């Protein structure tokens, strides 16, 4: 994949250089020099990192390093991947967790203790903020809870923590439509899906703010999807604003650091 093709893919996917830097690990200054033409011969390793994010699949969708299940566990047929519907999703065994994304079924591993500590702390602080400041229609939720993200029959996800602010999407047994805020706590089994595929899906569905939380690095990457894909990076020692709350909600993960070892 040459640089011209990468530039086109970057525009097609709506990525800012800051977003691309966060996804690839390539410094922002390096990307600015590459895409402005200042650097004529980028390092091969840099190009490979860019291609891994921007390379389209044969079907024209974003490449995801994590493969969908290629086995029949739980009745999943690899030949049907891409054509599964919500009806199939609800027919899967109830003793396992799954997500359905664009007709592809992904099995989810049980969350680790560290994962639960982080998700629980975030949820409790969101709940306290909503109770203190509102608005009344907003309410936080924690997994497992089905989210019919695209309001169609091809996608059903279970974000770790979310904040919904539309009353009509919070009736019934699931969330119908895109939450305003979503946070995913990375685990080895979902790492690639959360930082590549879901970032793309959440943006297109209308999620305004997306947090990717790295437990081992104790880092939070905040994607402001409603603000030209602005990206901010925080550590667990920082106080982190929920940007869509206009300063009313501030999250601190400092107190849980000792519980993660």
pLDDT at 66 over 70: no
pTM above 0.95, yes or no: no
**Residue 2 CB neighbours (<10 A):** 8
Quickly tell me which residue has 């977003």 as its tokens. Answer: 19
Identify the band that residue 215 occupies on the pLDDT scale cut at 50, 70 and 90. very high
Task: Give the model confidence (pLDDT) of 23-48 as tens digits.
Answer: 677 887 888 888 888 887 888 778 87
Query: Per-residue pLDDT tens for 202-211?
Result: 999 999 999 9
Of the given ranges (8-17, 45-54, 157-166), which has the lowest mean pLDDT? Answer: 8-17
Separation in Å, CA 30 to CA 24, 39, 102: 12, 8, 34
Q: What is the pLDDT of residue 112?
A: 94
Of residues 98 and 134, more confidently modeled: 98
Mean pLDDT of all residues in 216-231: 91
CA 209 – CA 162 distance, rounded (Å): 10
């Amino acid at each position: 994949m040459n640089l011209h093709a990468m530039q086109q893919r970057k525009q097609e996917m709506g990525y800012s250089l800051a977003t691309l830097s966060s996804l690839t690990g390539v410094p922002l200054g390096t990307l600015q020099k590459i895409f402005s033409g200042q650097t004529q011969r980028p390092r091969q390793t840099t190009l490979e990192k860019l291609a891994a994010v921007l390379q389209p699949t044969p079907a024209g969708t974003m490449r995801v390093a994590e493969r969908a299940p290629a086995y029949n566990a739980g009745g999943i047929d690899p030949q049907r991947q891409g054509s599964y519907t919500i009806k199939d999703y609800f027919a899967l065994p109830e003793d396992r967790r799954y997500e359905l994304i664009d007709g592809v079924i992904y099995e989810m591993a049980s969350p680790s203790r560290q994962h639960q500590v982080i998700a629980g702390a975030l949820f409790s602080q969101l709940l306290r903020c909503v109770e203190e400041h509102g608005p009344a229609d907003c309410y936080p939720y924690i997994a497992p809870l089905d989210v019919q993200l695209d309001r169609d029959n091809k996608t059903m996800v279970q974000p770790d923590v979310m904040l919904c602010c539309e009353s009509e999407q919070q009736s019934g047994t699931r969330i119908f439509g895109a939450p305003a805020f979503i946070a995913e706590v990375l685990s080895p089994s979902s790492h690639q899906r959360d930082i590549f595929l879901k970032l793309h899906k959440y943006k297109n569905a209308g999620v305004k703010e997306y947090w990717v939380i790295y437990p081992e690095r104790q880092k939070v990457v905040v994607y402001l999807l409603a603000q030209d894909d602005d990206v901010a990076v925080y550590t667990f020692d920082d106080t982190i604003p929920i940007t869509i709350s206009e300063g009313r909600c501030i999250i601190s993960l400092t107190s849980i650091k000792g519980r993660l070892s």
